[in-house]
């Protein structure tokens, strides 16, 4: 690979922004020079930032299942997802794949295998723009979630597992009335049908959740996977996560849980759409409030890939004392560190040349170029 120079750039380092040039050699950053180089590609004064690291996105599943009952070709779904992810400045992505069957998808393992096989094929074939890993989202009340985990976890592409419990009355929806309001129209069921559904879900939780959590946590540690706990709402939830050796607290729903997770040394992850919208879609704690309180470490695009970059440029405008390098760490160095990826996440000598050229056009940051390991991918 020949040497590449990016010059006349505002380079966002870990703690400052400098004007200068970057030299890329053999896929790594080999020099950071102050001032404009006589050679190289002119960035026109645009920002050059590290490639974004995404730990939790449901976006691939949305391409695979674009409508209820409609399942797209998994390789085509990955192709579309990958193009949008890379075009949003994301160079490392953990694709969330839900495991554990339910009434809506009783053959969940078949669908999960199709997605996992597509990701592995895309990576092995070398045609994905971003680097893809697999994040298994383990729905604990499901009777077969442990079997699904065992079928998919033992592979180098699987790096992260999250333990989740979406039982009505738990975590994200501690209030059953909030749950009913949120899902009544979406599910299209009568009050009696919805109540029967709630009763069935709660019975599954009582029968399976605790045993499944213990089994998956033990297996994840045996395989060396990073662990995340999803939608912690109480001090007891966080204490359980800490005892389980969880590294990441995904989407804590209350200030109490976020504070406890911070004190326990867990990296706190929240959704970038929450920042962009200014609130949670389900009425839980605001991500921006956690930023202001110093309780947010990582942002995830969740269901809108471009929200990651958009939130980074919004946060310094909304939170006093927060600068762009600090905001950028929530989507670069912090998620890379939490996932055990020490070779990327910042612009520094010897790090991977995963880079994004960003221009501010009015209210939005615009991606004008993306490099992965020094190669232009978008």
- Which CATH number is 19's domain given? 2.30.40.10
Structure letter (DSSP) for residue 331: T
Residues 19 and 104 occupy one common structural domain: no
Query: 150: which 2 tokens?
Result: 């065992």
Domain assignment of residue 19, yes or no: yes
- Which CATH number is 283's domain given? 3.20.20.140
Tell me the C-alpha distance between 27 and 355, whole Å.
11
Query: Predicted confidence band at 30 (pLDDT cuts at 50, 70, 90)?
Result: very high
Beta bridge partners of residue 185, listed in sequence order? none
Which long-range CB contacts under 8 A does 65-74 form with residues at least 24 apart? 65/111, 71/111, 74/114, 74/115, 74/117, 74/118
Question: Which one is predicted more confidently, 135 or 39?
Answer: 135
Range of the domain at 12: 1-50+344-378
Domain assignment of residue 359, yes or no: yes
Helix (H) or strand (E) holding 176: helix 176-187
Query: 283: which 2 tokens?
Result: 């009425």
Contacts of 110 (CB under 8 A, 6+ apart): none
Quick: pLDDT tens for 227-280.
999 999 999 999 999 999 999 999 998 999 999 999 999 999 999 999 999 876
Domain count, the chain: 2
End-to-end CA distance of the chain: 18
Residues 333 and 350 occupy one common structural domain: no
Residues 134 and 238 occupy one common structural domain: yes
Closest CA to 132 of 65, 77, 72, 53: 53
Residues 298 and 353 occupy one common structural domain: no
Domain assignment of residue 257, yes or no: yes
Are residues 318 and 327 in contact, defined by beta-carbon separation less than 8 angstroms? no
Helix (H) or strand (E) holding 208: helix 191-223
Quick: pLDDT tens for 145-167.
999 999 999 999 999 999 999 77
Q: Return the sign of the alpha-carbon dihedral for residues 61, 63, 67, 72.
A: negative
Q: How confident is the model at residue 200, as a pLDDT?
A: 75
Q: How confident is the model at residue 215, as a pLDDT?
A: 98
Residues 351 and 326 occupy one common structural domain: no
Are residues 297 and 305 in contact, defined by beta-carbon separation less than 8 angstroms? no
Residues 242 and 288 occupy one common structural domain: yes
Q: How confident is the model at residue 7, as a pLDDT?
A: 97
Tell me the C-alpha distance between 317 and 16, whole Å.
17
């Amino acid at each position: 690979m020949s040497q590449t120079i990016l010059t006349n750039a505002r380079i966002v380092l870990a703690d400052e922004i400098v004007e200068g040039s970057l030299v890329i050699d053999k896929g790594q950053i080999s020099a950071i020079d102050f001032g404009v180089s006589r050679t190289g590609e002119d960035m026109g004064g645009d920002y050059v930032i590290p490639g974004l690291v995404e730990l939790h996105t449901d976006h691939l599943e949305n391409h695979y299942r674009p409508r209820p009952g409609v399942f797209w070709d998994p390789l085509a779904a990955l192709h579309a997802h990958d193009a949008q992810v890379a075009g949003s400045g994301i160079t490392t992505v953990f694709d969330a794949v839900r495991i554990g069957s339910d009434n809506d998808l009783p053959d969940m393992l078949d669908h999960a295998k199709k997605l996992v096989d597509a990701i592995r094929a895309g990576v092995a074939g070398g045609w994905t723009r971003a680097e893809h890993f697999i994040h298994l989202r383990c729905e604990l009340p499901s009777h077969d979630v442990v079997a699904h985990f065992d079928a998919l976890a033992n592979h180098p592409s699987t790096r992260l597992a999250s333990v989740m419990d979406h039982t009505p009355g738990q975590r994200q929806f501690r209030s059953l009335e909030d749950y009913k309001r949120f899902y009544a129209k979406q599910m299209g069921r009568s009050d009696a049908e919805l109540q029967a559904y709630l009763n069935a879900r709660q019975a599954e939780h009582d029968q399976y959740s605790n045993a499944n959590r213990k089994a998956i946590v033990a297996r994840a540690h045996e395989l060396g996977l990073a662990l995340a706990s999803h939608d912690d709402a109480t001090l007891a939830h966080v204490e359980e996560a800490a005892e389980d050796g969880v590294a990441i607290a995904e989407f804590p729903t209350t200030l109490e849980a976020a504070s406890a997770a911070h004190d326990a040394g867990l990296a706190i992850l929240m959704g970038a759409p929450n920042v962009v919208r200014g609130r949670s879609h389900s009425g839980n704690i605001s991500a921006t409030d956690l930023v202001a309180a110093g309780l947010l470490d990582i942002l995830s695009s969740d269901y809108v890939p471009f929200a990651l970059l958009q939130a980074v440029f919004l946060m310094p405008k909304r939170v006093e004392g927060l600068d762009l390098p600090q905001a950028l760490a929530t989507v670069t160095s912090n998620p890379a560190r939490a996932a055990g990826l020490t070779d990327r996440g910042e612009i520094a000598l010897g790090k991977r040349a995963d880079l994004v050229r960003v221009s501010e056009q009015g209210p939005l940051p615009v991606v004008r170029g993306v490099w992965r390991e020094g190669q232009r991918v978008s």
